[in-house]
Structure 1
């Protein structure tokens, strides 16, 4: 009996020691930078993260998701050093909670909102007030977009469709995705005949084509602010944020369909 108890204590101690050893590598080095970035940035930011300019800064890891999800994770204590949001609202959300380094915040990029269809689709629409989007979806087709109450691309899409007077006609036929890249994939896989995404998303996906671009005055300016996260400020993070704003990296963003941020 005593031998069995001693053995259980011994094996328990071994498990705790093994767990401690497994956790040791999780301590971040000074030159590691974790970036939380809006999902729409993935193709461009993956290329930038692999570039020589960024590799010289240190090890850069990027986690992509909807800005809403990332902001809430940062609020909960996720160890991101930099946050790049697809709208001002979620950066404001963190600023109000003192989770960003205020003087590091700046507008990084702009973008455009587009209506996309599968590459071989013959859909033709001109975006104008009252345009017949519901008819273009067909009898049972759905419109793919980011979740319209939290995901920035979905919020922009809902605002544009509302201003154009067509939201009520299609609101019951929305397939709401967790992020804009997921919405893009619904169209690329032909699971939805049309979708509303960013121009940069359409640029990166050969399986879709742009049907039309939403006029700028139908939605708020699309802006990607970036900032350092309070408590995770470091020399490497500051260098990376500076690099993202530098001409070589900005040229990569442009090639992937992004713009300079709109002037305020």
Structure 2
């Protein structure tokens, strides 16, 4: 009789333990499902943007994340031509902001842009800068053709829009033959800025917005508007994006009055 009671007791104990284990596993699975759901709400956007936008976009991202904490913004800053090539070769990107129309046109022609998302976003200017001390007393754009300048830094026109604008300026002002032997080419506009800051060159051509972020250079002249095409920064969402709505929301934010104030703080003008 005692043996029977013990057996029944052991069976009840085993059933109870099994129920507890099953319940625990169920709760664990449920917890895992909840975590997965929470993770699914986090959306990642990769923005490939011209190097001249670095400080501006980082500031804009801080503001955007205050109201959209579930959006993880990752930026890829480089020369627009480099970014274009990366996108063509399949590099992940949801949004592209170019410093010129040429690179955006190339992607558009290859049907890599999402329909109806391309817009003109910003306007910039090209300026001639020198190191802060300006030892050579460069005071005007024409000085780059004189003995005052032995080295002038510009972006590589093969991939850098600022360099393409510089090349256009030299050609239209008939400076090309004189300036070309003096030219030193940077792989993006920030390299040009750094060379001028460090006094490695006598002067350089950069965007007005690049000069505005540095206290080590001096703006001595602005390129005449009729010496180059308008400097317009287009923006578009890429067709390959997997977060279309999130991408649209961020692009919309960049066109708000709030974003405009930040762009203008860094020297840009809104295109729209």
TM-score tier after normalising by the smaller chain length? 0.7 to 0.9
Q: Does 1:124 align with 2:138?
A: yes
Structure 1 counterpart SS, 2:240: coil
Task: Deviation per CA, 1:33-91: give whole Å up to 9, x if none.
Answer: 10000000011111111124566161101110000000110011111000000000000
2:228 corresponds to: 219
Matches within 5 A, 1:244-255: 244-255=254-265
Which 5+ residue runs of structure 2 have no aligned equivalent? 1-38
Judged with a 3 Å threshold, the aligned counterparts in structure 2 of structure 1 residues 161 and 120 are, in CA distance, closer, same or farther, namely: same
How far is the alpha carbon of 1:172 from its aligned partner? 1.3
Q: Does 1:133 align with 2:147?
A: no
Q: Does 1:230 align with 2:243?
A: no
- The separation in 2 between residues aligned to 1:132 and 1:258, in whole angstroms, is 26
Query: Would you identify which runs of 4 or more consecutive aligned residues in structure 1 move more than 3 Å?
Result: 27-30, 52-55
Q: Does 1:174 align with 2:187?
A: no
- The separation in 1 between residues aligned to 2:182 and 2:211, in whole angstroms, is 22
How far is the alpha carbon of 1:149 from its aligned partner? 3.1
Match of 1:192 among 197, 201, 206: 201
Task: Deviation per CA, 1:153-189: give whole Å up to 9, x if none.
Answer: 0000110111111111010111100111111111011
Greater Cα radius of gyration, structure 1 or 2: 2
Higher mean Cα deviation, 252-261 or 77-86?
252-261
- The separation in 1 between residues aligned to 2:86 and 2:67, in whole angstroms, is 26
How far is the alpha carbon of 1:112 from its aligned partner? 0.5
When normalised by structure 1's length, the TM-score is 0.83
- The separation in 1 between residues aligned to 2:162 and 2:154, in whole angstroms, is 7
When normalised by structure 2's length, the TM-score is 0.80
How far is the alpha carbon of 1:194 from its aligned partner? 0.2
- The separation in 2 between residues aligned to 1:251 and 1:49, in whole angstroms, is 14
Q: Does 1:242 align with 2:252?
A: yes
- The separation in 2 between residues aligned to 1:115 and 1:169, in whole angstroms, is 16
Does the 8 Å contact 2:193/2:210 carry over to 1?
Answer: yes
1:21 corresponds to: none
Does the 8 Å contact 1:102/1:227 carry over to 2?
Answer: no
Judged with a 3 Å threshold, the aligned counterparts in structure 2 of structure 1 residues 181 and 29 are, in CA distance, closer, same or farther, namely: farther
Does the 8 Å contact 1:108/1:245 carry over to 2?
Answer: yes
1:183 corresponds to: 192
Judged with a 3 Å threshold, the aligned counterparts in structure 2 of structure 1 residues 98 and 175 are, in CA distance, closer, same or farther, namely: same
Q: Does 1:88 align with 2:98?
A: no
Which 5+ residue runs of structure 1 have no aligned equivalent? 1-26
